[in-house]
Amino acid sequence: MQGLLVLVLVLQIAAALAMIALVLVQHGKGADMGASFGSGSSGSLFGATGSANFLSRSTAAAATVFFASTLALAYFGSQRGAVEQGSVLDQAASPASSASAAAVVPSVPSAPASGAALIPTK
Residues in the chain, overall count:
122
| pLDDT at residue 84 tops 60 | no
**Residue range 4-18: average pLDDT?**
95
66: Cβ–Cβ under 8 A, 6 or more apart, which residues?
A: 12, 15, 16, 19
The pLDDT of residue 1: 78
| pLDDT at residue 110 tops 80 | no
The pLDDT of residue 85: 59
Residues of the chain with pLDDT > 90, as a percent, come to: 33
CA distance 103 to 116: 33
Number of C-beta neighbours around residue 117 at 10 A: 10
| pLDDT at residue 57 tops 80 | yes
Helix (H) or strand (E) holding 25: helix 2-25
Condensed to tens digits (0 to 9), the pLDDT of residues 22-55 reads 999 988 776 656 555 655 554 444 455 566 688 8
| pLDDT at residue 13 tops 60 | yes
